[in-house]
């Protein structure tokens, strides 16, 4: 399997955005499924030794994914991804937030909106995940919390799943 370029993470404080760009050596349909089906998301959405566990998921406009990042000592940090627009096999838009285990948003942490765009390429599939924040402080908070290292580790795990034909 050919090597794919490294994951690119671009922080733009002026525009209040973070862009994560990754190319996968996999068909667009498989990559789409990896981002939209909880059974597949759970295999890569948390950096090891953490894992993601779904409490509920409804991948439809108005639906959401409620999940926990579960640590090695069973500590849980809850997240919620609300789906605000979906164009199958092309893109979906989200509101991304931290929450409690019932899905109640924790407003003391950054809340972002985002768009994830999937593009078929000669070598596989390009995914561009752009997050929009309210202010520079929210981006700085995400960076301090290890967002760049965490998302890069997750993307590398997903690339490995494709290389090993596990998805």
- Over residues 6-65, the pLDDT tens digits come to 899 999 999 999 999 999 999 999 999 999 999 999 999 999 999 999 999 999 999 999
Q: What is the pLDDT of residue 5?
A: 72
* Cα dihedral 14, 20, 122, 4 sign: positive
Q: How far apart are CA 105 and CA 66, in angstroms?
A: 11
What's 8-163's CATH class?
Answer: alpha beta
At which residue do the structure tokens 């752009």 appear?
130
Residue 4 confidence (pLDDT) above 90: no
Residue 70 CB neighbours (<10 A): 17
Give me the pLDDT at residue 3, please.
55
pTM of the model: 0.93
Per-residue pLDDT tens digits for 53-99: 999 999 999 999 999 999 999 999 999 999 999 999 999 999 999 99
Distance between CA atoms of 152 and 7, rounded to whole angstroms?
A: 6
Rounding to the nearest 10 degrees, give the CA dihedral for residues 133, 6, 47, 80.
30
CB-neighbour burial class of residue 2 (10 A; exposed 0-12, middle 13-18, buried 19+): exposed
Report domain extents, the chain.
8-163
């Amino acid at each position: 399997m050919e090597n794919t370029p490294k994951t690119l993470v671009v922080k733009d404080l002026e525009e209040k955005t973070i862009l994560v760009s990754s190319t996968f050596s996999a068909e667009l349909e498989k990559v789409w499924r990896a981002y939209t089906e909880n059974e597949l998301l759970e295999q890569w959405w948390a950096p090891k030794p953490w894992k993601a566990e779904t409490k509920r998921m409804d991948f439809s406009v108005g639906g959401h994914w409620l999940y926990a990042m579960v640590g090695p000592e069973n500590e849980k940090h809850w997240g919620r991804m609300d789906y605000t627009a979906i164009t199958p096999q092309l893109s979906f838009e989200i509101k991304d937030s931290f929450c409690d285990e019932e899905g109640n948003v924790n407003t003391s942490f950054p809340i972002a909106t985002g768009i994830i765009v999937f593009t078929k390429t000669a070598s596989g599939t390009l995914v561009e995940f752009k997050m929009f924040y309210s202010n520079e402080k929210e981006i700085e908070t995400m960076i301090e919390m290890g967002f760049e290292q965490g998302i890069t580790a997750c993307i590398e795990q997903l690339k490995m799943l494709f290389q090993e034909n596990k998805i």
